[in-house]
Structure 1
Amino acid sequence: MHAHFAQPFQAAVAAAMALSNTSSASSTCESHVLTPVHHTGTKSEWMESIEQQHLERSTLNRLIINYLITEGFKEAAEIFAQEAGISLNNVDLTLVDERLRIREAIENGRIQDAICLINNKAPELLDQNKELSFHLKVIQNDQYFH
């Protein structure tokens, strides 16, 4: 990944994830928390252990919904939820549009716009997430000097 693209992309992902953590969108997996598995073996051992894992269909469906919402595929999430019989009552899908606007602003180098959008939606976010705030300032300074 090109260095000038990597920073905005990482910041956009961090902003989307941080914003989703402040919203009800994170509740799509509320009862299905998966514990990360730490593996120190070879790639083939890792792939074999993954193949042996079993996920309940409802867990897999919720992971798919969560992915679609996080990545901004609102309509696909709605259709998938309907077909899978999953209620999206606890999910504010308008936040998907907000996250996309923030992400697009960052990816297009409009960092100040992204900061304003973040502050309008979740004023405490940049104060609480110092890493995100730092990444945005680095990108903003990088643009200033180039």
Structure 2
Amino acid sequence: MNDDLNSAKHRYDLWKQDLHATLIRKEDMNKIIMNYFVTEGFAEVADKFRMESGTNPDIDFQTIMERDATRQAIEDGDIEHAIEKIKAFNPKILDANPQLSFHLQIQNTIELIRKGRIMEALEFTKEVAPRGEKNPEFLGELERTLTLLAFEDVTQCPHRHLLDMSLRNILAQEANAAMLISQNYHPDPILSHLLKMLKWLQDVVLFRYPRVADFTNPTYSLRI
């Protein structure tokens, strides 16, 4: 056991030497950070980072602001405004993404229910229903949403989770990704790909070397 422990410590020392000998240019790090802000649509943060680091985004900054405004509208529950902004950004996006279009319509129905505008919600579902009838998955989502109308106290509804604010964030990410793809821009940040690659390398290639046990609070663990 002691030999295994000493071997692990030796590998750890060699790994640490290699780690410190690896040079990562600040410019490259800045590009990765900027890519994250751009991809996620954080226009204000991206602009401040541009001024502080001198790193320019590799996409038209105006489009970042438009995606940011769309994301904010969805997170605020103003779905109709978000739909208008998506159409203004690129009128082909919703036609090319029927699932996104349906999710926006469903979320709009949920927002009307949340505000107690029941009759408007019922009228709106008449417009949404034809899409649900053509797609079993859509129909299921529509039926679950309509169950909210059957309960005077929605907290007793088995599908009350549909009123969870976190669903706005999920929809905002879906809309943001569709808008990026329409610009031929990858919807996932480079940083997420690097983390996935690191995890794969740790598990498959560098399995005898120290590994990052927790990416949210990086700590290294020895492998014996």
The normalised TM-score by structure 1 is 0.50
Larger radius of gyration: 2
Name the structure, 1 or 2, with higher relative contact order (CA <8 Å, separation 6+).
Answer: 1
